[in-house]
């Protein structure tokens, strides 16, 4: 099973087959954030892929809309829209970092 390593906490969790990074992180009780429940509506679940970005599902239209081209070019993805079958390393923002970018609607 593929592994998701969270660079800034040192945690490594299993990527659930066929499930989003969000669900894999939540399943492993990692501090990933969501307001919309995984519908690409809040942007709170964003993670920055540090290694293995080429192994992920392609960036989809809701991600393009929510993140914009600059963030995508920097490696940011919506965990709720992203799947992996291979090992990856990511950065998981802390709550304070998300205050200005996470829609609480």
The answer to whether residue 59 forms part of the interface with ligand FES (CB under 6 A) is no
User: Using the rule CB under 6 A, which residue among 11, 41, 53, 101 binds ligand FES?
Assistant: 41
Question: Is 45 a binder of ligand FES (CB under 6 A)?
Answer: yes
Told to check if 38 binds ligand FES by CB under 6 A, we report yes
Q: Which residues of 62-100 are buried (b: 16+ CB within 10 A; e: fewer)?
A: ebeebbeeebeeeebbbbbbbbbeeebbbbbbeeeebee
3-state secondary structure of 104: coil
Query: Closest by alpha carbon to 76, among 59, 62, 61, 88?
Result: 59
Among 11, 28, 36, 50, binds ligand FES (CB under 6 A): 36
90 touches ligand FES (CB under 6 A) = no
Identity of the residue, 41 or 53, whose beta carbon is nearer to ligand FES in the bound complex: 41
For ligand FES, the closer of residues 12 and 103 by Cβ is 103
| Cβ contacts of 62 within 8 Å, gap of 6 or more | 40, 78, 81
Contact positions vs ligand FES (CB under 6 A): 22, 34-36, 38, 40-45, 78, 80
């Amino acid at each position: 099973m593929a592994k998701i390593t969270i660079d800034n906490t040192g945690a490594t969790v299993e990527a659930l087959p066929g499930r989003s990074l969000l669900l894999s992180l939540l399943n492993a009780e990692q501090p990933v954030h969501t307001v919309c429940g995984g519908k690409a509506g809040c942007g709170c679940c964003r993670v920055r892929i540090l290694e293995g970005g080429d192994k992920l599902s392609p960036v989809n239209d809701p991600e393009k809309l929510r993140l914009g081209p600059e963030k995508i070019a920097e490696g940011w993805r919506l965990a709720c829209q992203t799947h992996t079958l291979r090992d990856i390393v990511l950065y998981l923002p802390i709550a304070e970092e998300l205050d200005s970018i996470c829609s609480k609607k």
